[in-house]
Amino acid sequence: MSAARKAPLLVAATVALALPLATGCATAQKAVDCARLGIEISNDVDDLQRSVTDTATDTDNAGKILDNLERDTRKLKDKSSNVDVGKALDHLQKAIGNVRDALRDDKTPDLTPLTDAAGELSKVCTSK
């Protein structure tokens, strides 16, 4: 497992252990759910980067990864009422749409906004 994937796992483990001590169970569970789904989204973004880099012509795989990102984003949006998380998810959804549009137009997508939005989500999920 790469260092980039270990860091979010360590953050999620820390959140899972520390939050129950500092807050009520419901709040802690929401934070853990947010962190867990944030990790899934980060992993999806990593997979998409590899797909676009390794196989620029394999838009089917990239499309499946984008579908996973959209599904994970919806799951988290349904579970969270936090305004900051909602804003981060809105940015993520917009970035996903931009990547999908670029792929549909046979262009190499700029993944920077997508990775930035995933980073923003990770930040807000772990700061609560």
d(CA 13, CA 20): 12
Percent of the chain with pLDDT over 90: 8
Which tens digits make up the pLDDT trace of 59-76? 778 888 889 889 888 888
Q: What is the pLDDT of residue 54?
A: 64
Residue 98 reports pLDDT greater than 90: yes
- Please list, residue by residue across 82-114, b when 16 or more beta carbons sit within 10 angstroms of its beta carbon and e when fewer do: beebeebbebbbebbeebbebbeeeeebebebb
pTM for the model: 0.69
Q: What is the pLDDT of residue 94?
A: 94
In the predicted model, what is the mean pLDDT of the chain? 74
d(CA 3, CA 8): 9
